[in-house]
Amino acid sequence: MYEKKDDDNSDMASLFEPESIAIIGATPNRGKIGYSICEYLQASSARKYYVNPGYETVWGEKCYASVLDIKGSIDLTIIATPSFTVLDIMKDVVKTSSKSIIVVSSGFGETGTAGKEAERKMLEMVRKSGKRMLGPNTLGLYFPWRNLNTMFLTLDRMKLPPKGKIAFVSQSGSVAAVQMDYASEHNIGFSGFVGLGNKVDINENDALKYFINHDETGVISFYLEDFRNAREFLELSKNSDKPIVVLKAGRNPGAARAVASHTGSMAGPDRIVNAALKQNGIVRAFDEEELLDFSRALSYPIRMKGKRVAIISNAGGCNIISADYVEEKDTRGKLELAEFSDETHEIIKSVIFDFASYHNPVDLTVGAPTEMYDKVLDIVKKDDNVDAILFLALFQAAQIDDNFYEIVRKHSLNSDKPLVVVTLGGEYSSKMIRKFEKDGVLVFPSISRGVRALRIMSYYNSIKYYNSIKSH
Amino acid sequence: MYEKKDDDNSDMASLFEPESIAIIGATPNRGKIGYSICEYLQASSARKYYVNPGYETVWGEKCYASVLDIKGSIDLTIIATPSFTVLDIMKDVVKTSSKSIIVVSSGFGETGTAGKEAERKMLEMVRKSGKRMLGPNTLGLYFPWRNLNTMFLTLDRMKLPPKGKIAFVSQSGSVAAVQMDYASEHNIGFSGFVGLGNKVDINENDALKYFINHDETGVISFYLEDFRNAREFLELSKNSDKPIVVLKAGRNPGAARAVASHTGSMAGPDRIVNAALKQNGIVRAFDEEELLDFSRALSYPIRMKGKRVAIISNAGGCNIISADYVEEKDTRGKLELAEFSDETHEIIKSVIFDFASYHNPVDLTVGAPTEMYDKVLDIVKKDDNVDAILFLALFQAAQIDDNFYEIVRKHSLNSDKPLVVVTLGGEYSSKMIRKFEKDGVLVFPSISRGVRALRIMSYYNSIKYYNSIKSH
């Protein structure tokens, strides 16, 4: 039996950074999964070997009848053939030099007992041969730092995210597809994506180890329906300097039953999951929107070191809605309204209108000219009683001019305290949000999402700090 | 003292449906509030009288030096002049035939004691003369059914919503601006909007009475920081057949202090507000997004008569996230996963793939062809154990074709049970969401918002039913 060493990531490197790839099930037939995979692999500089007994050539290159006919060395083999052929093909693949294997084919453990038995055989083969296997029933992987996309997603009605800092690991192909598509529209960069599929060999812990050591990754984000080895996951997370966000689905009985029918695994009581994640410095998300929002917030280069929030805008009503959320009780961390120093109060008072409010939340009122925002942001950022700023950048006010965008951008990017921007409204505001996103400003289109991002930044700091105290 | 009768809406009709309008502070100077008001009033067919002692003509018409010089009858007078002039102008206006007055000017009660005293004088004048006054410090009103817009909002970077069924009443101009702008982008129709300003005479109760009797209004939606007469508001709401949604801000101590500085009013304990709203059949929203989401959901022509939700999609992972939210405990109503009848199970089983899940949540799997959705929606809609459907319309799947949109639209619009659509993803999906919105499909861009809409539809039904039982 192959025993892998804990810190050995070389097998995962063959998966994410292959120099050579064999594609079994390569085909010139548009509409087939093997076609899409070959199509997207053209962007990769890896040496490609096409395998399909039905063709002499595909994609303008030689097509091999069997993977055994390939003379060169292979880092990664992708199997995208009907399920009934997979076990026989695996028998050949494990005889080659291929270090890892992605089994895209579905129709295994997720379909019942016979499928589970086939998976047991696959695992035996990969363990005996010292290889690693992703899948079966996996969407594959996307690694933009190497222009590598092994996925079969049709890109007619969706797009992939740009290069960036978020690593995403998903036990669901559909969640992965919608997340990547969303990220593409909002310019949220991914450092990599892995679809775990049925997790027969490679599981979330292998991916976690890889991304913890991957320089371009800043945050590691998971959609999981079960843990293959929870103890190891928690231990790895606890020691990670990179924030980890987990959407663990199946919290409630009916959803847990759906998980069981989806993955075949049974979940323990959810409050234990909750506590374990928190104790090990892991942030929990409850839905697809939170998962990306939190990952974005925690990949923001500036950390929030306390819980005191200043709120600034030209909009009294929106300030109050925001203040309500800041003060709200929440299991994921406590925020409070910052109390400015006397000096801050005096300086704010001297720059804003007589009838405007210089207390937190600061209401500059709708007639505030653009420079006023600049001055007030400068003052509030310097107050030691403030850990972060929620700035409502509302473009509806007639008095602001074209410099307004630039002032918000400047304060967001040049700050030692997080500045979260909330922009509300319609078409024009949506355009400004896209622009902020492109420029790396942490912006949200609703008050609740903006405040929640701050809450999570503060929460992460507190659970990480608490854990580092405990372990000393 | 003028005593108004409770059911007399004629004074409010002069506000929303004036045949003639005097604008004091009319000006040809772009950038002035009086300019914007005149500009937008051009769309109204009401007879307009311009008043400003500085001009002979404005907008190509005669300009009067004083409102007293106008010979014709006036339904509505708008005052948009500097605050120090307002009391003197009011003295003239109350001598005219004008039935209602909008005081746009700010700088009164919101600025301190002297402003409050001026407001007391205004109120005395309007009460003595039997007129009604909106404001001061009001954004004005927008009544698209009459092409009436008395607001001074600059429409350079924002737009107004189309005609529709939601009446919106706001104690904050900024909340109003962002809501109307958002509604415009998402094709959410408004039947009318009133900015309450300082609520010196006309308050939320007057607006509520007017919209309860306004045929085109389906739902009445409020942003409030205080109640002028809570008992009357609750009584009116209790007897209203139209759903009422209230965002009452200032729930927590710091936010309540901000309300006090914003409106000068002190709030009671929030749990009392919560209970009173619920007991009187009013739905509470906690932020700007919920306020519009809930108003949209409750203006949907189909009511949800129970709490049992069916979830259908091609996406196992998204189904499970949805099921978790359906089962979540929430103070605003209980939902549960519907348990299909045996017959429904058998029929679903016969139309979906062998390996797909026919239990609720129904996972058709990513390879489902378009017709399969049509069939399954038909079956599930007929099951008596189902009160509403959450349908995740995910356009990323390669197997769906161009009929998919049409099938979802058809099932959403032809149904005796609510069908809430959730569409997740990027650019293409956003485009489909806009299209759904235009077609009147109740669609949301996140799972939490979709489930919450269903929760509120069910909650509204339960609190209204409970109240009608009690009152018999």
pLDDT score recorded for residue A112: 86
| Whether residue B274 is found in the same domain as residue B337 | no
| Whether residue B287 is found in the same domain as residue B389 | no
pLDDT score recorded for residue B2: 34
- In contact, A224 and A248? CB cutoff 8 Å: yes
Record the tokens describing residue A266, joined without a space.
């049974």
Record the tokens describing residue A299, joined without a space.
């990949």
Q: Name which of A386, A395, A378, A401 is nearest A443 in CA terms.
A: A395
| Whether residue B91 is found in the same domain as residue B26 | yes
CB distance A446–B110 less than 8 Å?
no
pLDDT tens-digit map of A417-457: 999 999 999 999 999 999 999 999 999 999 999 999 999 99
Assign residue B82 the CATH number of its domain.
Answer: 3.40.50.261
Find the CB nearest A178 among B153, B156, B318.
B318
Q: Is residue B101 part of a domain?
A: yes
| Whether residue A307 is found in the same domain as residue A448 | yes
Between B9 and A188, name the one with better pLDDT: A188
Type of residue found at A209 = K
pLDDT tens-digit map of B439-465: 999 999 999 999 999 999 999 999 987
Q: What percent of chain B has pLDDT over 90?
A: 86
A416 Cα to chain B: minimum distance (Å): 25
Task: Find chain B residues with C-beta within 8 A of A186's C-beta.
Answer: 426
Polymer length of chain A: 472
pLDDT score recorded for residue B355: 81
Task: Find chain B residues with C-beta within 8 A of A426's C-beta.
Answer: 158-159, 181-186
pLDDT score recorded for residue B163: 96
In angstroms, the CA B433 to CA B450 distance is 13
Q: Is residue B3 part of a domain?
A: no
Listed residues A299, A320, A345: the one ending a domain: A299
* Phi, then psi, of B224 in degrees rounded to 5: -130, 145
pLDDT score recorded for residue B466: 62
| Whether residue A78 is found in the same domain as residue A189 | no
Residue with tokens 């989806």: A262
pLDDT tens-digit map of B135-184: 999 999 999 999 999 999 989 999 999 999 999 999 999 999 999 999 99
CB distance B111–A318 less than 8 Å?
no
Between B466 and B288, name the one with better pLDDT: B288
| Whether residue A195 is found in the same domain as residue A334 | no
| Whether residue B259 is found in the same domain as residue B392 | no
How many contacts, defined by CB atoms under 8 Å, are there between A and B? 268
pLDDT score recorded for residue B412: 95
Which band of pLDDT confidence, cut at 50, 70 and 90, is reported for residue B259? confident
**Helix or strand (DSSP H, E) at B392:** strand B388-392
Task: Find chain B residues with C-beta within 8 A of A317's C-beta.
Answer: 170-175, 223, 225, 249, 262
Find the CB nearest A174 among B110, B261, B317.
B317
Query: Minimal Cα distance from B356: which residue of A?
Result: A111
pLDDT score recorded for residue A263: 67
| Whether residue B457 is found in the same domain as residue B357 | yes
Record the tokens describing residue B24, joined without a space.
């004091």
pTM of the model: 0.95
- If one counts every other C-beta atom within 10 angstroms of the C-beta of residue A317, the result is 29
pLDDT score recorded for residue A471: 52
| Whether residue B285 is found in the same domain as residue B308 | no
B413 Cα to chain A: minimum distance (Å): 24
| Whether residue A196 is found in the same domain as residue A313 | no
pLDDT score recorded for residue A260: 81
Burial of B182 (0-12, 13-18, 19+ CB in 10 A): buried
Listed residues B274, B298, B322: the one ending a domain: B298
Q: Name which of B94, B250, B393, B306 is nearest A322 in CA terms.
A: B250
Mutate one of B178, B186, B364 to test the A interface: name it (highest A CB count within 10 A).
Answer: B178
pLDDT tens-digit map of B402-419: 999 999 999 999 999 999
Q: Does the pLDDT value for residue B4 go beyond 50?
A: no
Q: Is residue A144 part of a domain?
A: no
| Whether residue B291 is found in the same domain as residue B314 | no
In angstroms, the CA A228 to CA A257 distance is 18
Hey, is B57 helix, strand or coil?
Answer: strand
Find the CB nearest A288 among B157, B253, B446.
B446
A447-470 helix and A288-299 helix, angle to the nearest 10 degrees? 60
Task: Find chain A residues with C-beta within 8 A of B324's C-beta.
Answer: 249-252, 255, 286
| Whether residue B91 is found in the same domain as residue B222 | yes
In angstroms, the CA B194 to CA B208 distance is 10
Which band of pLDDT confidence, cut at 50, 70 and 90, is reported for residue B398? confident
CB distance B262–A321 less than 8 Å?
no
CB distance B317–A107 less than 8 Å?
no
* Range B284-306 average pLDDT: 96
pLDDT score recorded for residue B9: 61
Q: Is residue A143 part of a domain?
A: no
CB distance A323–B154 less than 8 Å?
no
pLDDT tens-digit map of B102-142: 999 999 998 889 999 999 999 999 999 999 999 999 999 99
Residue A58: domain span? 1-138
Q: Is residue B153 part of a domain?
A: yes
Integer CA distances (angstroms), B240 to A448, B208, B209, in order = 30, 9, 9
CB distance B172–A317 less than 8 Å?
yes
CB distance B446–A327 less than 8 Å?
no
Number of domains in chain B: 2
Find the CB nearest B394 among A178, A259, A430.
A178
pLDDT score recorded for residue A3: 42
Listed residues A299, A322, A344: the one ending a domain: A299
Query: Minimal Cα distance from B427: which residue of A?
Result: A185
In angstroms, the CA A73 to CA A99 distance is 9
ipTM of the complex: 0.95
Record the tokens describing residue A165, joined without a space.
């800092």
Average model confidence (pLDDT) for chain B? 93
CB distance A255–B323 less than 8 Å?
yes
Q: Is residue A152 part of a domain?
A: no
Q: Is residue A358 part of a domain?
A: yes
Assign residue A92 the CATH number of its domain.
Answer: 3.40.50.720
Q: Is residue B1 part of a domain?
A: no
Mean pLDDT by 10-residue block, N- to C-terminus, for chain A (472 residues)? 47 92 96 93 97 95 97 97 97 97 94 93 97 96 96 93 98 96 98 97 97 97 95 97 96 88 72 94 98 97 95 95 96 95 96 90 93 97 98 94 96 95 98 98 98 98 74 50
